[in-house]
Amino acid sequence: MMADRAARTRRRRGMSVIVIGSLTVLGLIAAFFIVDAGARSYAEGRVKQEIADNLPDTVTGDVSVSIGGISVIAQYLSGSFDRVALTAPTLSVDGVAASVRVVATQVPVDQGKPVGDVRGVVDLDQASLNTLLRSSLAADAPDAELVLGDGEVRYTGSLSVLGFPVGYEATATPTAVADSLLFTPTSAKVTTGSGSIDAGELLPLIVGQQPVRVCVAKYLPEGVSLARVNVTPERARITLESSSLLLTRKSLTTLGTCSAG
């Protein structure tokens, strides 16, 4: 009888040890995540401040920062953050308004090392796109205006044929090269001109013109290039990429250039 009572007492004590031990472990885990959450908030604030301090003076707007991964502390100790997302819905770059979203992976703690991979999306409305266009045109070039459509744009222009000015409206498809947006005419119609000029003969001449080129690189850090572009009536969405970007003031304020032609 006494032996049974002693055995039950030992089992209760054993269960108590297990429960207390489990609660202690859970408490430590909870404490770690609380500390890690504080470290995450601190790290996001530091990254946001570093970005604000290192952006060119021509860039204005608020940037939100989110650091992914399970443990910020562990990532910091490993020397890099797995994923850092930046969001700036109302950024202005040299007077050009844009909505920007950037995801960087393998972001080194040491700013002297390049970010492993950077992928970004920039949304421009029609007004912003035309601001870019005007800054890309030669000083003596006529005014131009791009109108966004589904997968294409429209614009007006003029050319001289046998000394006669001929106005036209062209439809163009957008593509992206490393430094610029290209709008290549695919169809056109003559809007003004002399009655002696055959409009049908003019169309191949209009469509065969050089693409309208909009320089984007001069608004981006050197080493960031355009990957593709998608156009809807609401916006032109440009996808950016880089595997050589440094998060230093010199790197972020050294802007790219566009090739001629």
pLDDT for 4: 54
pLDDT for 260: 66
Evaluate if residue 153 carries a pLDDT over 90: yes
Q: Is 181 exposed, middle or buried (0-12, 13-18, 19+ CB in 10 A)?
A: buried
State pLDDT tens for residues 27-45. 444 444 456 667 778 778 8
pLDDT for 20: 45
pLDDT for 110: 86
- Choose among 165, 183, 164, 162: nearest CA to 173: 183
Three-class SS of residue 249? helix
pLDDT for 254: 86
pLDDT for 175: 95
* Angle at alpha carbon of residue 135, lines to 133 and 137, rounded to 5°: 70
In this prediction, residues 157-163 reach a mean pLDDT of 74
State pLDDT tens for residues 179-198. 999 998 888 888 776 554 55
